[in-house]
Structure 1
């Protein structure tokens, strides 16, 4: 009996130490992500939004909203790294099953990370981000004492009304979808039916957003990479671009020195001069202009100065590209393009193969498990190489989805600008990135990019068991990706061939007027 009690005590101590170790590891990981995301947000945020010298209340509100945004972005980054971390952990345990220094890496830790990411992502999406937005826009109820608490009360009331509205809409939608007696009875079960249905709708929206953004982003990655890397001489004539930029810079500088663009100076006859150089000025001194004309002139000089700064920045970038080494010029660009083409083609082939698996085997359907049995079998038929390829493809698809999201006409205004992004736009970016990243595990498992089953509440979504939704989703992704690639790559190849064979250097007709001629 004493031996049994001692064994139970040892087991309880072991479980306690495991829980403490998991809490410490999760805290360290989240703290690291929080610090990283804080630097990212402060890199893009607008200084005037947070440096409120005359109003301490607004400064405190902005600091609270900034902390909520940083927390949300850290959860989004954690959701992106969740599936790659799980796959790598499984391969490490397979390679070193009895290593003492990696015993902390077990299924309980990975399962806990999945549950925490799911909980924090829904908490941020449903409560924290709406609270941050309404908190920054609130001023307190009319007649109440001004202060932080007045803003908190107003934000809480608005958030409560919004929550009731959303829950009511979901309740009506679920009542329409399920018209039998069992479904009507389950409508009153808030925790077991209502909230999972709401989470399922949010996840479906995120996965559909990935379906639209990822194929467009895969095709846009070729253009973005071509803009970042230095192209070979056959595909890009940097000497001509640099010469044109220098001529344009000189022309704008000459116009600034002459007092502004004559196009904005009113002539004595009431018309506007459209000439470029100072020789086209009317015989009219600036002192004889009215105050309104001086305003136009000052405004024009400011616009020209902004244009000059942009041209100088472009010239510096072209000079850096012009000084690139021959290895970087002739080897980096082709290797990058071949790598993008290989990753994109591999993704499409895996999805096509997964479509065939869906037709032949029910085990290919995405499903959720409650226990993470790590270190038992590899999730790829190619072993560690296949697992590494899965991790690379998952991260590549996430980057492509972000590029496609910010390149689409609907969301291009959300693109953050360095040191010039207001707080409301930062909140919108955090919400968008959280929706995309929290749907990434379900997206990767639905397309068959990985065989790692969904853990925790990620596998409880209702639509994952519907064969028609999963099958049509895979077919839609393969078709959209192929269409975007064929359309974008064919146009790019045609443009580069025209440029390579010198067809862009054909003589152009001379302009009709000397005054409308541009520097290049």
Structure 2
């Protein structure tokens, strides 16, 4: 009996050690990928990293490490459901395989618990500490890195007290029975509640940006792939960029040779938004001409060095676009006529399947076949398939989850691009990286909740993810599904019928203009208008003659 208990304890110990090693390896891989991603976008100049102050370098490194940790946790949260679904199907297909014995329910459950814990720590501790630490200056009596740490910890503690007080007030207002002193001192119960609020905000954010992402993905794929010739004439675009490149080269050579300030004669076509020089190029070589500040100056109205710099910058953009179009011209006809239509059909099929699954989920919720996504039971991996179609259906569910994640990120990039918050390669400051990591973390942790609310998969949310209280609200879940299905359908209809509706509107407007055209004036009215025009012309000519005579007299007097 003692030998059996010893063997059981030894087996539990070995299983625990194996799981911790797997967790560590997975986290190292995600951390390395996140570090490479941040290294691609982080700013590299004297203001951030390459500074002479060693203290600033240490602060920057610590904040960057915390951001990398949060980004790795967000990637792990985004991969939770697809990895769990695939693991369940692998155990069903190979139940007695020696190579997949390490894949069990305890491993997946521990993975969900670790992601939930690190998500809370990153969202409420690490990222706020990174921001406050990078902005701190230290107390007057305690300089150096230690003073900055003390200041950050005190400010973070005050911020935590404010957040916990706000959580207590909101919780007491919603539940109505948490007004005692014991509930106030039980601080550990507020972290799941705060995470529940953040996840609810993230799910609302996904409700807005995921339908927009479905529509925007068609444009993104259309911009990456080469369209057929009847949809896009690459030869015409190539000739346009080539002619514009030759024109810019001639203007640069003319400006260098003659040293002229203005281009004469000016082009007859109106200037576009991209034909303007930056503010730093808007200077003048003469003292009499004022310097333009606070706005862009038209490129063709600059002088000397500013004109040459602006033309060179625009030439660089035109050459880049011409090379891109030239590369697309050299693509094969198979890629043009087969790959592009297949990609568009695949996106349309995935979006349609998602909408149909959401409609099916709404019907099952109304009938009572499916319950709300609040999960409290223990899930065992490898018992039954999650889809009626077997491994094929489970693979489709995992692919749909990743597609939803990509669509929501694409839709989220639209307002961020309008607000100029998107990261730029080697030009993103640390504060923006911290904000983007927090946004991605809230987005990724809300993704499993979105998938479960929409009924994309039958996999139960494990750990603390399945105990979020608002998931048990039937009206909220049903309303969310209805709004999601309606918005996605309207966005798709608007996407594919916008050109037809625009053409019909133009035709209808043209017909209305014909029928509502003003009648031709009578001969009498024509004579009256002609007489008024002649009279105004004579008066104008008389005024000009008088002004010229007065000018001549003044000049004669001045000469005498």
TM-score range, shorter chain: 0.7 to 0.9
Distance 1:478 1:468 in 2: 16
Quote the offset at 1:148 in angstroms: 1.7
* 8 Å Cα contact 1:187-1:194 kept in structure 2: no
Match of 1:10?
A: 7
**Structure 1 residue corresponding to 2:479, chosen from 472, 492, 502:** 472
Per-residue displacement from partner, 1:381-422 (whole Å, max 9, x unpaired)? 111011000000000000000000011268752211122212
Q: Does 1:257 align with 2:264?
A: no
Instruction: Please say which of residues 377-386 and 418-427 is displaced more in the overlay.
Output: 418-427
Per-residue displacement from partner, 1:321-380 (whole Å, max 9, x unpaired)? 111111111111100000000000000000000000101126331022453300001111
**Structure 2 residue corresponding to 1:275, chosen from 266, 269, 273:** 266
* 8 Å Cα contact 1:368-1:460 kept in structure 2: yes
**Structure 1 residue corresponding to 2:100, chosen from 93, 102, 125:** 102
Match of 2:74?
A: 76
Distance 1:332 1:238 in 2: 17
User: SS where residue 184 of structure 2 aligns?
Assistant: coil
Structure 2 alignment gaps of length 5 or more: 269-283, 292-301, 505-560
**What are the equivalent positions in structure 2 for 1:96-495 lying under 5 Å apart?**
96-141=94-139, 143-179=140-176, 181=177, 187-188=183-184, 190-191=186-187, 193-259=189-255, 265=261, 275-276=266-267, 290-291=286-287, 297=303, 298-361=305-368, 363-369=370-376, 371-408=378-415, 412-491=419-498
TM-score under structure 1 normalisation? 0.86
User: SS where residue 103 of structure 2 aligns?
Assistant: coil
With over 3 angstroms needed to count, the CA separation of the structure-2 counterparts of 1:241 and 1:207, relative to structure 1, is: same
With over 3 angstroms needed to count, the CA separation of the structure-2 counterparts of 1:294 and 1:178, relative to structure 1, is: closer
With over 3 angstroms needed to count, the CA separation of the structure-2 counterparts of 1:331 and 1:22, relative to structure 1, is: same
* 8 Å Cα contact 1:414-1:428 kept in structure 2: no
Quote the offset at 1:199 in angstroms: 1.6
Distance 1:292 1:470 in 2: 68
Q: Does 1:67 align with 2:74?
A: no
Quote the offset at 1:71 in angstroms: 0.8
Quote the offset at 1:145 in angstroms: 4.1
* 8 Å Cα contact 1:367-1:459 kept in structure 2: yes
Quote the offset at 1:255 in angstroms: 2.7
Per-residue displacement from partner, 1:242-292 (whole Å, max 9, x unpaired)? 1111222222233333338x9x958xxxxx988249xxxxxxxxxx95257
Match of 2:24?
A: 27
* 8 Å Cα contact 1:52-1:58 kept in structure 2: no
Runs of 4+ in 1 over 6 A off after TM superposition: 493-497
* 8 Å Cα contact 1:135-1:155 kept in structure 2: yes
Instruction: Please say which of residues 389-398 and 243-252 is displaced more in the overlay.
Output: 243-252
Distance 2:199 2:63 in 1: 25
Distance 1:202 1:151 in 2: 29
Match of 2:40?
A: 43
TM-score under structure 2 normalisation? 0.80
Quote the offset at 1:303 in angstroms: 2.8
Distance 2:427 2:178 in 1: 53
With over 3 angstroms needed to count, the CA separation of the structure-2 counterparts of 1:274 and 1:409, relative to structure 1, is: farther
Distance 2:104 2:96 in 1: 12
Distance 1:273 1:402 in 2: 48
Larger Rg: 2
User: SS where residue 52 of structure 1 aligns?
Assistant: coil
* 8 Å Cα contact 1:175-1:184 kept in structure 2: no
User: SS where residue 408 of structure 1 aligns?
Assistant: helix
Distance 1:411 1:109 in 2: 42
Structure 1 alignment gaps of length 5 or more: 267-271, 278-287, 498-520
With over 3 angstroms needed to count, the CA separation of the structure-2 counterparts of 1:184 and 1:487, relative to structure 1, is: farther
Distance 1:218 1:227 in 2: 15
Distance 2:416 2:495 in 1: 16
